[in-house]
Homo-oligomer: A and B are copies of this chain.
Amino acid sequence: MKNNICSFVFLIFMLAAVNITNADDGYKLWLKYDLISDVDLLKEYREMIHAIMIKGESVTIQATSNELKNGLNGLLGSTIPQVSNVNEDGIIIADAFNNLPLLQYTDLQSKLMKVGEEGFVISNEKVNGNKVIVITANKDIGVLYGVFHFLKLLQTNQDISTLDIVSYPKTKLRMLNHWDMINNTHEYWGLLSIWYWHTLPTYIRPHYIDYARANASIGINATSLNCVDADPQFLTQENLKKVAALADLFRPYGIKMFMSPNFNAPIILAGMGTADPNDLQVKEWWQKKVKEIYELIPDFGGFLVKANSEDEPGPGDFNKTQADGANMFAEALMPYNGVVIWRTFVYEYAPEDRAREAYDIFKPLDGKFAENVLLQVKNGPLDFSPREPFSPLFGAMPQTPLMMEVDISMGGLGKDVNLGFMAPMWRETLMADTYAKGEGSTVAKAIDGSLDKYKISGMAGVANIYLERNWTGNLFGQANWYTFGRLAWDYNITSEQIADEWIRMTFSNDTSIIHPIKKIMMGSREHIVNYMDPLGLNMLMGWGGYRGPWVDNSEHATWNSPYYHRTDSLGIGFDRTKTGSNAVEQYYPQVAEKFSSIETCPEKYLLWFHHVPWTYKMKSGNTLWDELCYHYYKGVEGVREMQRLWNSLEVKIDQEQFESVQMLLKIQYNDAVTWRDGCVLYFQTFSKLPIPEGLKKPQHDLEYYMIHDPR
């Protein structure tokens, strides 16, 4: 006890001191705008930036102007004046191109041809013989994006003397999906919504605006506010007014508002006898509701729908297809140019192999969806495991635009408490080759529309933004929010580059800080795979807080882990080849062939596709059992290594941030040990094989892990 008190007391005084000296609590995200600390560079920037010139007057341009002024004032440490003429060097000109008569005859015009409605161009130009930097675009929102990009160049200490940047998004809808509840809670136990529904629409919190700023800074242009497990009450007039208040705040930042409707709303809100999507009265009800929404939010984006999945209602309840359901909403939204985003995560038909489900249901419906429907497909066939092969739906529905849905919130990877950098994971899927139209038909090309000439395209991320002062719980969650925006804009950016940008803006441009943090980030996801779900395993988590494994095979229902790992005395893994569920047939032949053979299947997916004997010899020469154990232990070692690297940063970085991540890594380490020991002991009851020599024995027996489900 005494020791405990002492260490707490130590903590107290550190924290007390921290508070009063304005520690970095993470609220400002990557938009810090602190004074440039490199003195020479600061001098150089100051020489190149004397004033700004912005003439546009739209609300977006006003937001742009504010951002540029505040950003430059902070970064350069002095107030940058606004001018209306170019009479000297060092003017930053930021405006839509049609507001820049002096520049009409430069080659900016041809560059702008490429960037569409949201892209931008930044370049050094000469106006009246004066050196200026021009940030321009076809539309005002592009200028805002360009300004954020320009500020990032300064934040990350880049050279700004030879700028020739032409940037535009690969996908049209870059969207956050919030899983927030109407009572200010969140789909995930213990997490909380940032919306404070009970004081909207009148009470406008400062963080609503900063949320919009942060999204705009990384090109996110759409958001769905409420959980896909949708409370029908969100659709009442009273609550729509609350949504409208937020839409008004987000509009200048180019963010469109979406909502998740409850499919049975006509029954629950209006007392109708049915919600059958083909019923005329039901259709009429939705049309009226949609009209009501557009009266409040004239540029409303549309609906994001989860139907017939995990007990949510849907068209299947009325013997109608998923297409019937989607098209009913599409028809109501069409007159207003709204879209329906329909999730393929369908979890109600309880087949032999859930991993088959989305493809089996949706592939036959290709061509049956209205023009303004997009299907939203999770990166893998199942449900946000730490690693899954890509979903076979990508590339398989040439007539239906598919969005990819990734989980920024790390629902299956330890959620808000864990440190995991998701860029490598999402890029793993984006760069996977579907072979839909021969080699090079990557998932990225399937979703950006280039493969099948989709008219709309998009990428969605389940938001990891909660009522936390630093928005995401673990500070590194900010990196995933940032990554999502960056990859949705351009999937060709490498994980290293994203990490580099984010670290520089969040922590420092000092390489002795950047290197260890980048090392932590780049390895982090693989550590989680190793201690949770190595070698293609998945869905092992217990239900408490998903923070430990489910090590109880008392039930074999589709909700339970044994359904997914299929462990028995002979081996482990789900046979998805011809001898099993044959889910592998859903891939294009080149892929299917590779995954089908236990020889050619990448070991990282081995147990996803194959039921493998315990003594099967792996490429390393180890038996499967030994290899499995080594992976679990390696995962825990990885977390230990992250702790070591992080601890090396003490004093170098802000104390509050240091301590916060340090405490969370301690939780993660303990959870990792729970995963490792629980899983190894549990699987051992089947394999009957010893834990390889040299690996430390688990501290507790299996029974401990069967009742220990940490929250």
Residues of A within 8 A of B (CB): 1, 4-5, 8-9, 11-13, 15-20, 23, 25, 33, 59, 62-63, 66-67, 70, 74, 183-185, 189-192, 196-199, 202-204, 206, 209-210, 213, 238, 245, 248-249, 251-252, 295, 298, 416-417, 467, 469, 473, 545, 656, 660, 663-664, 666-667, 670, 710-711
A395 to chain B minimum Cβ distance, whole angstroms, is 39
- Closest B residue to A7 by CB, please name it: B248
**Residues of chain B lying within 8 A (CB to CB) of residue A213:** 16
Asked if B63 contacts A12 (CB within 8 A), the reply is yes
**Residues of chain B lying within 8 A (CB to CB) of residue A23:** 206
Asked if B202 contacts A192 (CB within 8 A), the reply is no
Which of B5, B206, B670 is the one whose CB lies under 8 Å from A18?
A: B206
Asked if A16 contacts B63 (CB within 8 A), the reply is yes
Which of B209, B251, B467 is the one whose CB lies under 8 Å from A467?
A: B467
The answer to whether residues A12 and B190 also contact, given A1-B298, A667-B199 and a CB cut-off of 8 A, is: no
A48 to chain B minimum Cβ distance, whole angstroms, is 23
The answer to whether residues A249 and B12 also contact, given A190-B196, A417-B199, A666-B202 and a CB cut-off of 8 A, is: yes
Among all A-B residue pairs, the 4 with the closest Cβ atoms: A190-B198, A8-B248, A20-B70, A203-B663
Asked if B667 contacts A202 (CB within 8 A), the reply is yes
Asked if B62 contacts A13 (CB within 8 A), the reply is yes
- Closest B residue to A297 by CB, please name it: B1
**Residues of chain B lying within 8 A (CB to CB) of residue A20:** 33, 70, 74
Subset of 14 A-B contacts with CB under 8 Å: A4-B248, A11-B204, A12-B63, A13-B66, A16-B213, A18-B206, A19-B210, A190-B196, A198-B711, A199-B667, A202-B666, A206-B656, A238-B710, A469-B469
The answer to whether residues A467 and B656 also contact, given A20-B74, A66-B16, A198-B711 and a CB cut-off of 8 A, is: no
- Closest B residue to A545 by CB, please name it: B198
- Closest B residue to A199 by CB, please name it: B417
Asked if B185 contacts A15 (CB within 8 A), the reply is no
**Residues of chain B lying within 8 A (CB to CB) of residue A660:** 203
Asked if B467 contacts A59 (CB within 8 A), the reply is no
Q: Please give 10 more A-B residue pairs, beta carbons under 8 A apart, in addition to A183-B189, A190-B197, A199-B667.
A: A8-B245, A11-B249, A12-B59, A20-B33, A183-B185, A192-B467, A202-B664, A202-B670, A203-B417, A469-B469
Q: Give CA–CA (A185, B186) in the complex, Å.
A: 10
Asked if B192 contacts A252 (CB within 8 A), the reply is no
A290 to chain B minimum Cβ distance, whole angstroms, is 16
Q: Give CA–CA (A252, B8) in the complex, Å.
A: 10
**Residues of chain B lying within 8 A (CB to CB) of residue A252:** 9, 12
**Residues of chain B lying within 8 A (CB to CB) of residue A185:** 183-185
A66 to chain B minimum Cβ distance, whole angstroms, is 5
Asked if B203 contacts A198 (CB within 8 A), the reply is no
Asked if B9 contacts A59 (CB within 8 A), the reply is yes
**Residues of chain B lying within 8 A (CB to CB) of residue A298:** 1
Q: Give CA–CA (A545, B182) in the complex, Å.
A: 13
**Residues of chain B lying within 8 A (CB to CB) of residue A33:** 20
A35 to chain B minimum Cβ distance, whole angstroms, is 14
Q: Give CA–CA (A609, B245) in the complex, Å.
A: 45
Asked if B206 contacts A15 (CB within 8 A), the reply is yes
- Closest B residue to A6 by CB, please name it: B59
- Closest B residue to A19 by CB, please name it: B206
The answer to whether residues A192 and B199 also contact, given A12-B59, A63-B16, A74-B20 and a CB cut-off of 8 A, is: no
**Residues of chain B lying within 8 A (CB to CB) of residue A203:** 417, 660, 663-664, 667
A519 to chain B minimum Cβ distance, whole angstroms, is 23
The answer to whether residues A8 and B249 also contact, given A19-B206, A189-B183, A663-B204 and a CB cut-off of 8 A, is: yes
Q: Give CA–CA (A17, B467) in the complex, Å.
A: 22
**Residues of chain B lying within 8 A (CB to CB) of residue A12:** 59, 63, 209, 249, 252
**Residues of chain B lying within 8 A (CB to CB) of residue A469:** 469
